[in-house]
Structure formats: structure tokens, C-alpha cells
Amino acid sequence: MSKGRVDKETGVETTGHSWDGIEELNNPLPRWWLWTLYACIVWAIGYTIAYPAWPMVSGATSGLLGFSTRAQVAEQITEHEAKNAQLVTDLLNADLAAISPSDDLHRYAVARGGSVFAAQCSQCHGSGAAGAKGYPNLLDDDWLWGGDVDAIAYTINHGIRNETDPDARYSEMPAFGEFLSGEEIDAVVEYVVSLSSGDVDSTLAQEGRTVFADNCASCHGDEGLGDRELGAPNIADALWLYGGDRETLHETVYNARFGVMPAWGQRLSDEDVRAVALYVHGLGGGE
């Protein structure tokens, strides 16, 4: 190579490029840097051969190493499940009520149950398990069918009033609109309101008491305390599944209610059902 012009000010050779008299100095890049660029190109080509890279019509080249993130995840899940195998066995064989909350098995079950709950149960019961109108709040101490962990597990396993599981918890309130007159329903509603609140028309409530004793007490009890064997709600407490105002109660008595829950035992594994039971039991209302 012949020497280019040397810039007087800096003593540096120029590239010979000149724009409006401004000349470009040539401060050469180290050659090893150029080689790192080539090395990177070679690496990149090798990489696209070894790993999935080039997009094709359907999918991409799979790469010589056969690497796939999906397979990697599957492998990690398998690894994880192998690690938890003993806990799963323990969970299946344990007496749920006897597992101590400080036990690793309990922590595992609650964590597992939490994720199952989020995926399967939260649609109706809410992600915080606070429920909604017609869908019970699982955080409080009011249970229609029992709140100990075995009762909860049974409910999850077989569900409520579904047609798929013969062991489902089942009860049905009649639609009293067919049997009772409007006045009688008004009266019994007033009486039911009086059970949990003082602010009522006492004459009307007194009339309703008789209607209640004749039609309702057989399931809900004389005092309206309900019956868990029948899934009959306690209607003397502060909590209402569908609402405790007169209008809603009128609707409930007239049409009745028929809340359904699927039998999760048919959809989930036994360990998942047990895990969710422990999770729900630990939310605050467990007995």
C-alpha cells in the first residue's frame, strides 16, 4: 500500500476522502477486531444450524441439536414432579384433618391447591375466594354442607346438585310460588328478615312465623338455623348467598334456588382435589 497524504495538524494519514475540504483521518481499527466480527458471523451461522432458527412455511428449522424450549419445559416439569413424588404419595395417603399446618406436606398441598384453585375454581368463587351472588364466599365461617376439611374435600370431589355424579350433594328447595299466596310469601319473608334484623313489621312477621313453621322449618329448622345434612342454609345469621333484602328473599321463596357445582373428582386428580380442599380449608373459614 502506498502512503496516503498526511494531515499536517495531527500527523495522521488521511483516507483520501474529502468533503468540502474536510478530510477523513485514517486511524486504523485493530485487525483482531475485524477477526472477531468474522468469528461472530461464523458463530451465528453455526448457531442457526445447531439451534432452531430459519423460518419455513410451517414452523422453523429444528436445528441439529434438537433443542426445543417446549421439550425443555416438559423435562423441567417431569424433574419437578419426580422431586415431589413422595409428597404426592403422602398427600394421597394422609388423613387430611391430621396434617399439621407447619408440616412440609401441608405447605406443599396449599401451594398446589392454590394454583389449582386459581385455574379451576376462581371463575365462580373469585380469585380471592370471596365468592359472588349465588357463589359462596369461602373465606367466612358459614358453610352450607360443612366446613371441616373432609366435608370440603367431599364437596369438591362430588360437587353439588350436578347430574353427573350420583354422590353429589343434593337438596332442592321447592318453588313456593306454586303453593303459597303472595300475602303468605310477603309474611314469611318479613319473618325471615326478623330472624337476623330487628327492623321489621312485627304483625306481618308474626303471620309469617306460622307460614314458616308449616313450610320451611322442616329443612331450615324452627329457629332458621339451617341443616347441613340437607344443605339448608342458616337464615338467622348475617350472611346471605343470594341477598337478604325483602325483594331478593321474595324471589328466593317464590322461585327457589338451585346452585350447581361440578363434580371435580371427575376432572381433577385425587391429589389435586385433596390439595384444593386443604387450600380452601386454610383460607379462614375452615373448621
CB 101 within 8 A of CB 263: no
Question: Is residue 50 within the footprint of another protein (CB under 8 A)?
Answer: no
Shortest Cβ distance from residue 285 to another protein (Å)? 8
Residue 5 CB, shortest distance to another protein, in Å, is 8
Binding of residue 234 to another protein (CB under 8 A): yes
With contacts defined by CB under 8 A, name the span among 66-74, 78-86, 132-140, 163-171 that binds another protein: 132-140
CB atoms within 10 A of CB 128: 11
177 lines the binding site for another protein (CB under 8 A): no
44 lies in the site for another protein, by CB under 8 A:
no
Selected binder of another protein within 90, 148, 237, 251 (CB under 8 A): 237
Among residues 19, 21, 31, 178, the one that binds another protein under rule CB under 8 A: 31
Phi-psi region of 129 (alpha: psi -120 to 50; beta: other; left: phi over 0): left
CA dist., res. 272 & res. 46, Å (int): 45
Of 137 and 155, CB closest to another protein: 137
Q: How far apart are CA 221 and CA 244, in angstroms?
A: 18
Q: How far apart are CA 92 and CA 94, in angstroms?
A: 6
Count of residues interacting with another protein (CB under 8 A): 40
Give the three-state DSSP class for 170: coil
How far apart are CB 58 and another protein at their closest, in Å? 35
Q: What is the SS3 assignment for 184?
A: helix
284 binds another protein (CB under 8 A): yes
Applying CB under 8 A, among 21, 30, 55, 198 the residue interacting with another protein is: 30
When the beta carbons of 34 and 74 are compared against another protein, the nearer one is 34
CB 274 within 8 A of CB 95: no
Nine-digit cell string for 19: 468533503
Phi–psi pair at 261, nearest 5 degrees: -130, 135
Residue 10 binds another protein, judged by CB under 8 A: yes
Q: Which residue has the cell 321463596?
A: 253
* Burial label, 37 (beta-carbon count in 10 A; 0-12, 13-18, 19+): exposed
Stretch that binds another protein, among 135-143, 150-158, 160-168, 253-261 (CB under 8 A): 135-143
Answer for which of 53, 105, 130, 175 binds another protein (CB under 8 A) is 130
Q: Binding another protein by CB under 8 A: which of 4, 52, 221, 259?
A: 4
Q: Give the integer Cα–Cα distance in Å for 37 and 34.
A: 5
d(CA 187, CA 193): 10
Using the rule CB under 8 A, which residue among 142, 184, 190, 207 binds another protein? Answer: 142
Q: Residues with Cβ < 8 Å from 265, sequence gap 6 or more?
A: 156, 157, 158, 159, 165, 273
If the CB atoms of residues 46 and 101 are measured against another protein, the closer one turns out to be 101
With binding defined as CB under 8 A, does residue 33 bind another protein?
yes
Which residues are near another protein by CB under 8 A? 1-2, 4, 8-16, 26, 28-34, 100-102, 106, 126-128, 130, 137, 139-142, 234, 237-239, 282-284
